[in-house]
Amino acid sequence: MSDSRLSFDHVYQPPSTAKSGSPTPVTLLLLHGTGGNEHDLLPLAPMLAPGAGVLSPRGKVLENGMPRFFRRLAEGVFDLADLERRTHDLGDFVTAAAAHYGFDPHRVVASGFSNGANIASSLLLARPGALAAAVLFRGMVSLIPEPMPSLPQTPVLLSSGRTDPLVPVQETERLAALLELAGADVTLLFQPGGHQLTRADVEQASRWLAEKRLMFPA
């Protein structure tokens, strides 16, 4: 969807009708990997959080024709100035979308894969309070803010592959340590595979969201 009042091409899906006395529904912010688009992660939403609203933007950067959320200089080497600018651009978009569609901006849970996980972790650190929680599939350290923000008990799940050729185990552990330093409540999981997203990733993330009371049941 293209909306002149919002800054990203995106898809929005409202939550299931809330029952009387039920908690305010979460909105899943779905953030695709390099070469993906706003439709790529939509099938994950009902598996991760049945009944939740969905906001899925397309990254604005093109790398050899492939959408991304920020520029990189080489594999694993990020354009930090561009990352910072586009992180705040994404944060502003989420705020505008909340006002436009009427969802609670304090109940946004990011779920990102690879490049999407990296912009999500950057958003966590650069805009404390912009996300209620985050599920980061195959994420690595993208932004190291100065000074370090406070993310008291913000739930974050990191799910990575033990044989991932793009995101080594040590890099995932660096990200976990950085988020813990900021005060986040970090859960670190490793899958037996590589960089690809697996059913085990999604099933474990769904259980984690339920345990953290972040899901909105249909």
Question: What local confidence, expressed as pLDDT, does residue 6 receive?
Answer: 84
pLDDT at 18: 56
How confident is the model over 83-105, as a mean pLDDT? 96
Non-local (6+) Cβ contacts of 147 within 8 A are none
Residue 195 annotated as catalytic: yes
How far from the centroid of its chain's Cα atoms is residue 99's Cα?
A: 20
The reported pLDDT for the residue numbered 69 is 98
CA angle 108, 114, 117 (to 5 degrees): 25
Catalytic residue among 111, 142, 164, 206: 164
Give the residue carrying structure tokens 């009371």.
Answer: 213
The residue to which tokens 């906001």 are assigned: 55
- Phi and psi at 20, nearest 5°, equal -60, 130
Provide the pLDDT for residue 16.
Answer: 83
Distance in angstroms (rounded) separating the CA atoms of residues 180 and 100: 33
Concerning whether 164 is annotated as a catalytic residue, the answer is: yes
CB 173 within 8 A of CB 188: yes
Which residue type is seen at 11? V
178: left (phi over 0), alpha (psi -120 to 50) or beta: alpha
pLDDT at 73 over 70: yes
Q: Give the active site residue among 3, 16, 104, 195.
A: 195
Residue 218: what pLDDT? 39
In order of 128, 139, 160, 162, 171, the CA distances from 165 in angstroms are 31, 13, 11, 9, 11
Model confidence at 77: pLDDT above 60: yes
**Alpha-carbon gap, residue 44 to 158, rounded angstroms:** 16
* High-pLDDT (> 70) share of the chain, %: 92
CATH numbers and ranges of domains, the chain: 10-211 (3.40.50.1820)
pTM > 0.85: yes
- pLDDT at residue 2 above 60? no
150 an active-site residue?
A: no
Of residues 111, 114, 122, 206, which has the active-site annotation?
Answer: 114
